[in-house]
Amino acid sequence: MRLLFVSIVISVLSPFNQSDFWKGSKGSIAFTSDAPLELIEAESNQLTGVLKPSENTFAFLIYTKTFNGFNSPLQQEHFHENYMESEKYPKATFSGKFIENIENLKEGKHELRAKGMLVIHGVSVERIIKCTAVVSKKEVTITSNFNVPLEDHKISIPQVVYQKIAEEIYVTVKITLQPS
């Protein structure tokens, strides 16, 4: 009886029980390549994401074409044509399950670990990515930053620009999701 009461209280307290799906579409994602000779920064605010608390699952998606803010249009062109091959692999995704149970997350700040497959350049690599989730009544905001080693995703850098592109790209993400 007490257990039932506790679980009722928890479900009342947890905003995550309002809906089965939480969605966000205007998430921002930015990356930085800090190479010895050149600092490249680009960003996009077209990151979309979905959480399904009942299953602990998540999925995030970004079309690589939406990145802008390069140092030059030529650089942007190289990014899409030579490295990301955006025509061939238009999407980068990260989907999987949280290690922590998110079903009954209370309002407040939580450190979570998202374990899933990170697909960039058509190559999927399993990752555990730390993120912070701030849960309020109406929404949840997830922020994270992590490194993407280019080698992992078979993105090869010509020797000529080797000094200009970092071997690891630093990515920051912020997305707010609402129940749908």
Partner 1 sequence: MRHWLTIIIGSLALTILSAQNFNQREIDMPQGVLASEIKLLYTDNQGFVWIAAGQSLYRHDGNAFKEINVSEDMAEKEISSLYEDQSGQYWIGWNTGEIHLLKNGLTVAYSPNEGTPAVPIVNWAEDSQQQLWMCTKGEGVYVKNNKGRWFNFNTDEGFPSNETYDIIPLKEGVAVATDQGLVYCVFKDGSKAIEVLDQSSGLSDQIVKDLHYDEKGVLAAFYEPYLNSLSSSLKVIDTLIAPTSDAKRITRSFGTVWCLSEDGKLFRKNSNSGWIQLKLDVTGRSRIQTFTEDHEGHLWVLGSRGIFMIDQWYYHFATEQSVTAIVTSNDAIWYAQVGDLYRYDIAANTSKKVWQGANLILSLYKDDWGNIWCGTFDGGLLRYEPAAGSMKIYNEESGLANNNVLSISGNRLGLWVGTLGGVSHINFEDGGSVREINSYDRNQGVSVQYIYSVHVNKSGKVYIGTDGEGVLSWNGNGFEPLSGKKQDEVVLDVSSDKKGNIWWVTSGGILEGWSAQGSMFEVPPYPEEPGKVAGIETLEDGSILVMHDGGVHRWIPEVKKWVAYKKSFGLGALQPQLNAHATNGGDIIYIGTSNGITSLSIDHLPVKTQPKTTIQDYRLFQKPTTRTSFSSDENYFTFQYVGRWYTEPSAVRYKLRLSGFDPDWIESKDTEISYPRLPPGNYTFEVVAGVDGNYPEGEIESVSFIIYQPWYSRWYSITIGVLLLVGMVFFLFRIRLKTLAQKQEREKQQVQAQLETLKSQVNPHFLFNSFNTLMALIEEDRDGATSYLSDLSDFFRYILEFREVDLIMVKEDVRIVQTYLHLQAKRFGDSLMANIELPNEVLASYIPPLTLQLLVENAFKHNVISKDKPLELEIRYEADFIVISNRHWAKVKSDESTGYGLDSIKKKYKYYNAGQVKVEVTLEYFTVYLPVIYQNHKL
Contact residues for partner 1, defined by CB under 8 A: 96-97, 99-100, 111, 113, 115, 125-130, 146-147
Comparison of 80 and 127: residue with beta carbon closer to partner 1: 127
Whether the CB-CB separation of 114 and 94 falls below 8 Å is answered with: yes
Which residue has 């090869």 as its token pair?
156
CA of residue 148 relative to chain centroid, distance:
11
CA separation for the pair 36, 67 (Å, rounded):
22
Which residue number, 87 or 126, has a Cβ lying nearer to partner 1? 126
Closest separation between CB of residue 57 and partner 1, Å? 10
Nearest to 27 by CA among 125, 94, 126: 94
Q: How far apart are CB 49 and partner 1 at their closest, in Å?
A: 19
**Taking a C-beta distance cutoff of 8 angstroms, is the pair 133, 104 a contact?**
no
- Cβ atoms of 67 and 75 within 8 Å: the answer is no
Least distance (Å) from partner 1 to the CB of residue 126? 6
* Residue 39 or 99 having the CB closest to partner 1: 99
Nearer to partner 1, 96 or 179 (CB): 96
Minimum CB separation of residue 125 from partner 1 in Å reads: 7
